[in-house]
Amino acid sequence: MVSRKEWNALADDFEREVCDITRETGSREIDRILRKLKPSPERSVLVDLGCGIGTFVERYGARFRHTYAVEHAARILARARKRIGRREDITFMTSNIPPAVARIGRKADLTVCMNVITMPENRIRAQMWRGIAGVTRKKGHALIVVPSIESDRMVERVAYGTSLADAKKDAPDGLVDRGGSRQKHFARDELRDVLALHGFAVKRLLRVPYPWQKEGLRKPRNAGTRMPWDWLVLAERV
């Protein structure tokens, strides 16, 4: 697992080192989802769990009455504050997700959690899912991005010629080595199941492609139009 200390060490190079879906490839889909959700600037509450340098909040926060931006790495949150800290409608919280959720309470109309739930330990991931459920009000929504195991297997096949059977053998539990640390990757059905377990119904589940370079690779010749992707999920708290 990437520790809080390691996240802090990435603060200055965040844009280069971290895949920020709002800034990069997901922006069109996210725009579309936000237009449909139509949050109210008078009433709606946004909670961004693991907000990084605050790209989502900067782009969409003004559509909500109030925003809670939660991030455990103080140096990363300091960068978010520098960008958007003058706004009075944002509460910044330097905190691990579970205690922040306990302090905020169940009041989010939209809970965002993008590329955060990648920890290898099932127990810690369960805390994150419970956190999302604990902060999202009934009929509210969660917008979640997680790595895709199907994408990882496609990359293995296309870039390294690994057979699907061997790729599956390599990471049967979805734990994939990324720069020396294991990161959880989710299968489409697994994601539906874990959301259902925590009281969410999936409304949209789609691929957000990202450049091959983010895999540390040049686009392979045989890739055609294929690109690696993350799962982007919009789910309603039922």
Ligand X SMILES: C[S@@+](CC[C@H](N)C(=O)[O-])C[C@H]1O[C@@H](n2cnc3c(N)ncnc32)[C@H](O)[C@@H]1O
Map residue 58 onto helix, strand or coil: helix
Does 71 engage in binding with ligand X (CB under 6 A)? Answer: yes
- C-alpha 170/C-alpha 37 separation (Å) is 39
Residues numbered 162-181 forming contacts with ligand X, rule: CB under 6 A: none
**Which residue carries 């997700």 as its tokens?**
97
Mark residue 199 as left, alpha or beta (left: phi above 0; alpha: psi -120 to 50; beta: remaining): left
Does 142 engage in binding with ligand X (CB under 6 A)? Answer: no
Total residues in contact with ligand X, by rule CB under 6 A: 19
Does 20 engage in binding with ligand X (CB under 6 A)? Answer: yes
Does 61 engage in binding with ligand X (CB under 6 A)? Answer: no
Does 159 engage in binding with ligand X (CB under 6 A)? Answer: no
Residues numbered 26-45 forming contacts with ligand X, rule: CB under 6 A: none
Residues 6+ apart with CB under 8 A from 23: 15, 55
Does 183 engage in binding with ligand X (CB under 6 A)? Answer: no
Among 21, 69, 154, 233, binds ligand X (CB under 6 A): 21
**Rounded to whole angstroms, what are the CA distances from 160 to 167, 168, 210?**
10, 14, 18
User: Could you tell me the smallest distance in angstroms from the CB atom of residue 50 to ligand X?
Assistant: 3
Q: Which of the ranges 31-39, 64-72, 135-143, 163-171 carries the binding residues for ligand X, by CB under 6 A?
A: 64-72
Q: Which of the ranges 50-58, 61-69, 162-170, 222-230 carries the binding residues for ligand X, by CB under 6 A?
A: 50-58
Among 50, 134, 174, 228, binds ligand X (CB under 6 A): 50
- C-alpha 122/C-alpha 119 separation (Å) is 8
- C-alpha 137/C-alpha 147 separation (Å) is 25
Among 91, 96, 162, 181, binds ligand X (CB under 6 A): 96
Closest residue to ligand X in the complex (CB): 52
Among 34, 91, 107, 115, binds ligand X (CB under 6 A): 115
Q: Rounded to the nearest 5 degrees, what angle is found at the Cα of 140, between the Cα atoms of 137 and 145?
A: 110
Does 195 engage in binding with ligand X (CB under 6 A)? Answer: no
Residues 6+ apart with CB under 8 A from 230: 19, 21, 26, 115, 145, 146, 147, 148, 151, 207, 208, 210
Nearest residue (CB) to ligand X, 47 versus 51: 51
Q: Which residues pair with 136 in a beta bridge?
A: 108
Q: Are 176 and 152 in contact (CB under 8 A)?
A: yes
Among 25, 44, 55, 148, binds ligand X (CB under 6 A): 55
> Which residues would be at the binding site for ligand X (CB under 6 A)?
7, 18, 20-22, 50-52, 55, 70-73, 76, 96-97, 114-116
